[in-house]
Chains A and B, each alone.
Chain A
Amino acid sequence: DIQMTQSPSSLSASVGDRVTITCRASQSISSYLNWYQQKPGKAPNLLIYAASSLQGGVPSRFSGSGSGTDFTLTISSLQPEDFATYYCQQSYSTPLTFGGGTKVQIK
């Protein structure tokens, strides 16, 4: 199974900050990496697919990069509605696996 490791597990940031979250795969997954945002009590929401493609309706302050084993999600200017937990997910092989999540909190 491919293990997905996110870092940090949590972070505190202020509105307007640039935030970067890292996801590392235990083996190469090419660009089969997706990012989701989840708010408390809600279902996850797809932000980025194929490592760097922005899902429709997602603000352009979100961006993704990377390939192989190392990936990043960047929020260029954190907004109040961005405080949430973020998960990466590999879709390279079964079982599909998610990272442990990164909780973005208000500083």
Chain B
Amino acid sequence: EVQLLESGGGLVQPGGSLRLSCAASGFTFNIYAMSWVRQAPGKGLEWVSTISGSGGATYYVDSVKGRFTISRDNSKNTLYLQMNSLRAEDTAVYYCAKDRLVVRDLGEFDYWGQGTLVTVSS
């Protein structure tokens, strides 16, 4: 059974940093691209970032480029999102999600974690 378990969310002041983690199990982690998708309170879904299975390719939405870094440790089956220079508009539930296909880095997401809430406020 595929499981994705996020952690690391919390309350942080504007300009602060936070690192999210997503522990994966139940599938061959190192052959699938993984992504972060966020959802601001009461709002829709927003793709944030994707990393290829090997970790060699990364992709970001413009609003987080230069501030967020996606990474993975395939020996630990864990995905990360390092978030720096946080802003109020980054407040959201952050989901990690698994790409459905091995052959594409950027596709549809067939498994999602339960989400972790990041609140940026003074």
- Our verdict on whether A and B bind, yes or no, reads yes
Give chain A's interface residues, CB within 8 Å of chain B: 32, 34, 36, 38, 42-46, 49-50, 55, 87, 89, 91, 94-101
How many residues of B are in contact with the other chain, CB < 8 A? 22
- A91 close to B44 (CB less than 8 A): no
Complex: A46 Cα to B108 Cα, angstroms: 8
Give chain B's interface residues, CB within 8 Å of chain A: 35, 37, 44-47, 50, 59, 61-62, 95, 100, 104, 106-110, 112-115
- B90 to chain A minimum Cβ distance, whole angstroms, is 16
Complex: A42 Cα to B59 Cα, angstroms: 25
Complex: A55 Cα to B109 Cα, angstroms: 11
Residues in chain B near residue A55, CB distance under 8 A: 110
Residues in chain A near residue B104, CB distance under 8 A: 91
| Cβ 8 A contact of A98, one of B47, B106, B113, B114 | B47
- Given A44-B112, A46-B100, A89-B108; 8 other pairs, CB 8 A cutoff: A32-B107, A38-B45, A44-B37, A49-B108, A50-B108, A96-B35, A96-B50, A100-B44
